[in-house]
Amino acid sequence: MLNRILALATVLALAAAGCGMSPANEAAPPSPSAASRSSAPATGTPSSAAPSSAEPSPDARPALAETRSTMTESLKLEVVGLNRVKGKHLVVRLRLSNTGTKDLPWTGEMGDQTRPLGQIKWASGIGVLDAAAHTWLLPYQPADSPCLCSDQDRDGLGYFIDPGESITVYAVLPAPSGNPATATVVTPAGPPMLDVPISDEPPAGDFPDPDAEPVTPVTRRISVPSESLDKSDETADDGTDLHVNLSSDVLFAVNKATLTGRAKAVLARTAKLVDSSPDAAVRVEGHADSSGTDAINDPLSERRALAVRRALTGLVTREGVRFQSRGYGSHRPLYDNGTEEGKRRNRRVTVSFAKPKPRPAGEAGDLVRTVAPEPGELKATGQAKGQPISMEVAGLRRLPGGLGLLTYTITNEGSAEVWYNDLHHAQDWESYTFQAASNVRLTDPGARRQYLPGRLQVPDGDRVRNHCACTDVSGVRLSTEKYAPGQTRTFWSLFALPDDATTLQARIASFPRLDVPVQ
């Protein structure tokens, strides 16, 4: 009992102090009425969705996919159900198992930290990656509760999983686009689970019907950035549009709107991208950092946008392209203006247009998939506080929509406990909302281009909050960067992958670079 009290106190204290966890005294939402639930024949163990004060029944269904919590290695997560309902909804069921010898608090691991603090509930982080649409799909939000998902109080699940025991939790969310046969299931706890088969059979048990009451879809757009090694441009692919941020420091002299000699090569690369776009509309927007005043920044950004528009008009060869230009001054920063690097990146001209379509399969130069690396083949070593530590790349998988998933492990090879904090020591200009394992880069030396971790974009009034599409190390997950002797943790990141890449260089925190094959 003492262990339970101490563990619960730790979870609640970290949740209150860290970012993105639910307050301990938040009242449970009212139980959905019978009218709001869609009944399906019970073909196996009843789902944990049914409100009950009794202990959950053991769930013996075979696992469709599994992963482990990065923070708590004794927490095993298994997908035991993935059912498409009415062709537009998805019911996800996960079995959470305690494979350790101590009581395991699970509640802090499954909440979605991209929601406002008061809306986070215990299974709200269960979702699906719609890679083709660059969208992260999360449980629906009804008007009277945080999400259509398992609640630890209402469903009789409690805060802890006993040693050797399991519970089953669920979430109801939008189905991924395109009616795919498989999906990538995501949780806040561990790496995404790929290629999970979707069934169109009714799910066993009773689940909330999202068509029975007003619900709000909770989705996060995924933007995957890359930049040229000479820092002349940065692109962001959100699955629909390509946004090319051209450095004003390269294009113009200080306080000037006349293009430099170096600008010609940069704009020629941009024009080729516009030529490969399927759409006719191109937006050109000038931006400034926070230095100076609106009286200076607004007209200067307007003149710079117009200069780029005129230059691209003469460089683009495709017929019928329509350009629009506008200046926004310092009102739409991408990064923190409190740093010099953030200011440099905010001084930009952004050219936006429909994302070029990937080449048809079989076209010359298409990717030839490589064999997965053997264990130990992609391993590097280093030091953390005097202790030996190692990193090994588990894989770089190509996903639909030009995305890639990098997974890697870090192991404490020493004899003493050690913290390894370098994973979140990325540049401060990146301005992620919460601390994450974002200090990871992929590089294509031949194309002289670098790929940064993806961003989950969360609208927040007139701005967008960026969450790293990677392993979180904030809030209750602060201890993710602490390693016992011999302990291994698995991390992940989403990236953009160039169509023709077969091998990329991976630089993970302070470890040496590794040449990683694309699978």
Cα(93)–Cα(75) distance, integer angstroms = 16
pLDDT for 373 equals 66
Cα(215)–Cα(30) distance, integer angstroms = 15
Cα(84)–Cα(37) distance, integer angstroms = 16
pLDDT for 298 equals 97
On the 0-12 / 13-18 / 19+ scale of CB atoms within 10 A, 118 is: exposed
Contact 301, 329 (CB under 8 A): yes
Place of tokens 């979140």: 424
Structure tokens at 455: 């961003």
- Cβ partners under 8 Å of residue 373, min gap 6: 393, 395, 516, 517
Q: What is the pTM of this model?
A: 0.85
Contact 440, 508 (CB under 8 A): yes
Question: Splitting the chain (519 residues) into consecutive groups of 10 residues, what average pLDDT does each group show?
Answer: 45 40 32 35 34 51 96 96 96 97 92 79 92 96 90 85 96 96 97 97 90 95 95 94 96 96 95 95 97 95 98 96 97 90 95 84 42 76 94 96 96 96 77 88 95 92 87 90 96 94 95 96
5: number of Cβ within 10 Å: 10
244: number of Cβ within 10 Å: 21
pLDDT for 47 equals 37
pLDDT for 152 equals 83
Contact 139, 127 (CB under 8 A): yes
Ordered structural domains, the chain, with CATH: 2-28+46-213 (no CATH), 222-354 (3.30.1330.60), 379-517 (2.60.40)
513, containing H or E segment = none
pLDDT for 372 equals 63
pLDDT for 5 equals 43
Helices 263-275, 294-315: axis angle to 10 degrees equals: 60
pLDDT for 38 equals 38
